[in-house]
Amino acid sequence: MASLLVHLFRRAGENFTLLFKIRDDVDPAQPNKIRYGIRRPQNPILLLSRLERDHWLALFVGFLAFYADFLDFNVLAAATKKIAAYYGTTKAHVSDSITYTMALRVFGAAIFGFLGDLIGRRWPLIIDLVILGSLQIASIYCTNVNRFLGVRALFGIGMGGIWGCSASHLMENAPLEARGLIGGIFQASAACSGLTAAGLNMAFGAAPNTWKKMFWISCGLSYFAALVRFLVPESKQFLEAAKKKKELEALHGQRSGSKTKIVKFCKEFKKMFKLHWQTFIYSAAFVCLTSWAVHSYADNYVTFLISGKGINNRDASVITMITKSGCIVGMITIGWLGEYVGRRRMAAFATFMAACLLPASILPNSKTSLAVAGWFYQFFFESYGAILAAHLNELSPVAFRAVMPGVAYQLGTSISAPSAMIVNDIAEDRFINVNGKKEEAYEPVIGITMAICYFLMILLAVFGPEKRGADLEHFQPAGFKSESSTIISSPESHTDKELEAVNSTEKSG
């Protein structure tokens, strides 16, 4: 244990020192090299104009799948009051479904991430999207709230598999220079879905049964995303690996079955996890803090405006939509700059700015001030997550980029599941004076919670690892590897040597 702590502190010190490395020793024209320095940002419009057909298809599929995934989730959050009235129960009872969904997402990430690394990204994502749409329909036809809660728990398993398969497919098809920008656009799809859900909630009115219309729209989008993914080919890495496998089988006159492939995959996964469990824990903690901050603030924002500021439901929804637009712009901007300034530098900077702007977003009492300050706050607020897709994929072993970052991502969100409930419960039991009126104490509770989150987020950003520029394109899928090949295909990775040592030890044993 002592040696492990010494190792962790040494690595943390090295990571902190790298923040001050302004210039790289790597030739700027040389691709697929780890970079720690700062470069002049390229024009984002120019970067997008250079994208080829395959790049655009990967971005469209990833954005659409993640957007559909979160729209299915956010329409429930937006329509909680309607659903409670429809089933004749409390909002708290309906809100339990959100906790169940978040808690079970990690199982979906493990199942579909395993399949995504074993057989390819395409079919696991298609199946997952169809399951999501079907469970959304099943939710509509539930005759009582307990059945509804059960279906939403299953929905969490389906929801958990989307990010890993989508992000891995996107990053392995993204040009190196545009990786941060594309990752920011991808993550912004979650904010876009929140804005859409708020708009649908307003458009369909306050009648209790209108939540079903919202669910029909979201499930239709899930099926559409599955159709689009069906039309887009599999990643070239899996197509090439399958082709080579057939050629070898034809050459040797024997065919390896699916069981052999699965056994080989599991052995390689075990070896990989022995080497990278620390990275897995870091990734899960990184996402957990991001998700805890998001759910503590965003999930309670409308309630805060209504109960803490005395604003009516319609105006609260309008303010929420305005501030969400700031979040979308911020995630794209921070993701783009992270490619040149550094992912950890931008994460720490965005977190620091959000901490500075937090009081301005919750202290004003006028609607205009709340909307304007909220826009600038949310520009930085969720931008910590703008680097997630690129950052977690670069840190993960390339042959396991659906399952490892996917499970880490969903484990982090599962741990943060009770965050909104904790803030809500504490705020409802305490009161403050607002313009001579006694209101629930959302301001201090949200402020203290976010301050703790921001402090820990900055610590993780400045002392955590970074592999900006890692090769995500050239790899051999784990299930297709020969016995002598390594799990991690990047020739520059120090973990290749470690893995060879593990392989030789197991063979000699």
Mean pLDDT of 263-288: 90
Cα(170)–Cα(187) distance, integer angstroms: 11
CB contact at 8 A, 396 and 405: yes
Mean pLDDT of 132-139: 96
* 465-495 per-residue burial string, b: 16 or more CB within 10 A, e: under 16: bbbbbbbbbebbbbbbbeeeebbbbbeebeb
> What 8-state DSSP symbol labels residue 166?
H
The neighbour count for residue 263, using CB atoms within 10 Å, is 12
Over residues 479-488, the pLDDT tens digits come to 665 544 444 4
Provide the pLDDT for residue 241: 79
List the single range of 80-84, 224-228, 255-259, 328-332 with lowest mean pLDDT.
255-259
List the single range of 13-22, 133-142, 200-209, 425-434 with lowest mean pLDDT.
425-434
Cα(85)–Cα(78) distance, integer angstroms: 13
H helical segments located in 173-312: 179-203, 211-231, 236-252, 258-297, 301-303
Among candidates 272, 261, 211, which has minimal Cα distance to 78? Answer: 211
Q: Could you tell me the pLDDT band of residue 141, with boundaries at 50, 70 and 90?
A: very high
Among candidates 399, 34, 55, 63, which has minimal Cα distance to 237? Answer: 399
Please state, rounded to an integer, the average pLDDT across all residues of the chain. 85
CB contact at 8 A, 354 and 447: no
CB contact at 8 A, 115 and 124: yes
Per the model's pLDDT, the better-predicted residue between 45 and 77 turns out to be: 45
Cα(77)–Cα(420) distance, integer angstroms: 12
Provide the pLDDT for residue 249: 66
The pTM of the full predicted model, rounded to 2 decimals, is 0.86
Domains in the chain, CATH or no CATH each? 56-241+256-508 (1.20.1250.20)
Q: What percent of the chain has pLDDT over 70?
A: 90
